[in-house]
Amino acid sequence: MENNDREIVVSLQNVVKKFGHLTVLDDMSLDVYEHETVVLCGPSGGGKSTLLRTINGLERINSGKIIYRGTEVTHRNIHSIRKHIGMVFQSFNLFSNLSVKDNLLIAPCKTLGKDKKEMLKKASDYLELFGVADKMDAYPHQLSGGQKQRIAIVRSLMMEPDLMLFDEPTSALDPEMIKEVLDAIRRLSQQGMTMIIVTHEMGFAREVASRICFLESAKIRVDTDTKSFFGDTQDERLQQFLSVILHH
């Protein structure tokens, strides 16, 4: 692999996660390298969202290890590690009573103690980059779904994350808004942000992913580079999945 000279940002080692009797991550291992965009895909219930949620400590694992830049993630240090990890969910999670500006400034200024003027400049640069420069003073109810989701992405970026996690960031959007959000993520990919993205948008995955993992029944069945994933995979279950998802 050409990854050998790059640092591993996050590593899952034999991770097991159960909800009651149900195993959702079954002895799962995955390394994500700096500047990689890794897409997780597969049928519902395969463990994709749970995998993301274990990385930033929203779900505690039953066994195995999660290692972030060489440090094992534990319930003691998760808060300090979480500061380096941005997460964008299906729903936009903006504070509805705050303007876009305050949504973007509250965490870096209050939590990280950053300079407000500096952060305002940064916020307006990001809004510009993602095509929502005129929304600084708007409130969430005045925004379209696509605008809200792009602002949710900016809000994560304001914390200067080292790793971005996206959990089906377009699933709650109307079709014409999906493109705006995918374009925003594509820009981040071009800037070298390390990302793990759960998505069903396989055309998009083909374009931005350096690697794609196919998850089913709590296991990673296929983990390969994008070209091989779409081109010469031998996995019958994956071929079946792709034939359904690419042709519907």
Quote the CA–CA distance of 116 and 206 in Å, as a whole number: 39
In Å, how far from its chain's centre is CA 182? Answer: 12
In tens, the pLDDT along 114-167 reads 999 999 999 999 999 889 999 999 999 999 989 999 999 999 999 899 999 999
217 phi and psi, to 5 degrees?
50, 45
199's CB contacts (< 8 A; 6+ apart) are 39, 40, 41, 166, 168, 169, 170, 205
Please state, in angstroms and as integers, the Cα–Cα distance from residue 11 to each residue in 45, 73, 137, 209, following that order: 22, 10, 40, 18
Q: What is the mean pLDDT of the chain?
A: 90
- What's the pLDDT band for 4 if we cut at 50, 70, 90? low
- What's the pLDDT band for 1 if we cut at 50, 70, 90? very low
At 139 the pLDDT is: 96
Quote the CA–CA distance of 208 and 49 in Å, as a whole number: 19
Contact in structure between 123 and 156 (CB atoms under 8 Å): no
Q: Which amino acid is at 32?
A: V
- What's the pLDDT band for 247 if we cut at 50, 70, 90? low
Phi-psi group of 230: left, alpha or beta (phi > 0 → left; psi -120 to 50 → alpha; rest → beta): alpha
| SS3 of 50-63 | HHHHHHCCCCCCCE
- What's the pLDDT band for 223 if we cut at 50, 70, 90? very high
Q: What is the mean pLDDT of residues 58-68?
A: 94
Q: Which amino acid is at 232?
A: D
- Domains of the chain, first to last: 2-246 (3.40.50.300)
Please name the residue that has the structure tokens 């696509």: 146
In Å, how far from its chain's centre is CA 55? Answer: 10
233: nearest Cα among 203, 241, 32, 204: 241
Q: Take residue 215 and report the two structure tokens written for it.
A: 């998850």
- What's the pLDDT band for 248 if we cut at 50, 70, 90? low
